[in-house]
Amino acid sequence: MDKRMHALNGGQFADSFSPFEPQPREDGSVHSKPKPIELPDIGLKDTHKLIQFLGRGGTGNTYEYKDLETGQAVAIKLIARPIPKVIMPNIFREIRIQAELGEGHVSIINAKEAILTESHLALVMECAHGGSLTNYVSDRVGRARETGLVLTEEEARFFFRQFLSAVEYCHARNVAHRDLKLDNTLLDGSDPPMIKLCDFGFAKNWQGEDNNMYTVIGTPVYMSPELIHSRNDTKGYDAQSVDVWAGGVLLIVMLVGRFPFDHLDHPNPQTYEAHMEIWQQQSRSRWAEIPHMKHAVERLSAECIDLLDKIFVTDEKKRITLQQIKEHPWVMRPQPPLYAKAEEKFVKEQARVEEFVGRRTLSLAAIRQRAEDLQQMVEAAGARPPEGGATMTVPIKRLNLTEESVVQPAEGEDSNNGLGGSPAAASFEPQAGGSFQQG
């Protein structure tokens, strides 16, 4: 197995795989049942029951819990205290943006609650039972040996259309994700599965028409050339366009199981050398002409290749837009009955969600207050827990992140009517007295 195929089997995506090792049976064989989960008392035992480990992330691990009050399964990301000051803005931004996007799109993980205990800051979210798109693709890498493609174009199109809809929703609310990838695309438990975007730790709002950003952020193999190169200039980059490039990487990996541009000679993705290795590949070669892609490209349709050619344009001003992608012949091609039926259900469910959210009137004052309360909670999570390892059996503080918490209570108050999930006009970065701002 070459390095690029290995990348989808625990190399590049290692953080998305369970840390549990297969356990030996008495006869010497192995099975994949995970070892029992053992966590210290983190202050949630009276409200939530631990079910299973879900995934490992840069700032914390995520687990499935059962909410003892509602009986529902939830995903809880546990961020250990004290939170380092350098990542406080990311934690605050992740929770705030995910809350402000609200329940307005079926393909975005909903944030439900933030809980502060003596040992952790916990982000309670909707639980997606189908795992990550990383795992889904990795489990099917063997198909490429037989058909040349990991997912068929029809199946990849099914996921990609949902992905486009979710990203379009974010962009319409002046939010750039900036870390779109298979790891951050979850699946529900349906058949065929529906996607759920998650992890908004690198996301950022823009104001008005200016969506130019400057911070070099993201996962290198998904980063566009102008994003990588912005560390060497002051021009910045178009935040929507970098999400488009990342979407193209996601699409080609679904199809062929390999990254078009990789940093195999510099395996640590955080280094300058890894970034420049990818940038040089992007600048010197058309994606389809890179040696490890040539054989895979032979299996793709002409329409699919044309779409990817338009996405992987190094000049961001000439790169295809999200709207143009939606109108591209490959994306608009009719689907087989299995996917057509699921997409019809998706469209109806999204219309139902939009109609429901559109009937609500959100209170801008309540949104401001929630953002200020969240900032205070994150700052408190930066304080070191008491000595001795003692933890509380009940949370110190709980903050409702659902839209119910910011619905207009009475007439006459400044409001955001029918927009659902708070667009940029209703997005707030509390600064007075605060220790950090959005980066």
Q: Could you give the residue numbers annotated as active site?
A: 179
**Is 310 marked as binding a ligand?**
no
Give CA separation, 368 vs 169, 365, 371, 414, 439, in Å.
Answer: 22, 5, 5, 11, 19
Cα 203 from chain centroid (whole Å):
9
Q: Quickly list DSSP for 258-271.
A: S-SS--TTS--TTS
Cα-flanking dihedrals φ and ψ of residue 406, to 5°? -125, 15
407, β-bridge pairs: 362
- Tell me the C-alpha distance between 380 and 81, whole Å: 9
- Of the candidates 387, 401, 375, the one whose C-alpha atom is nearest the C-alpha of residue 83 is 375
Q: SS3 for 419?
A: coil
- Tell me the C-alpha distance between 306 and 184, whole Å: 26
**In the chain, what is the straight-line distance between the N-terminal and C-terminal CA atoms, in Å?**
40
Q: Within a 10 A sphere around the Cβ of 272, how many other Cβ atoms?
A: 12
Structure tokens at 132: 């990550």
- Tell me the C-alpha distance between 258 and 277, whole Å: 16
Annotated binding-site ranges: 77
Annotated binding-site ranges for ATP: 77
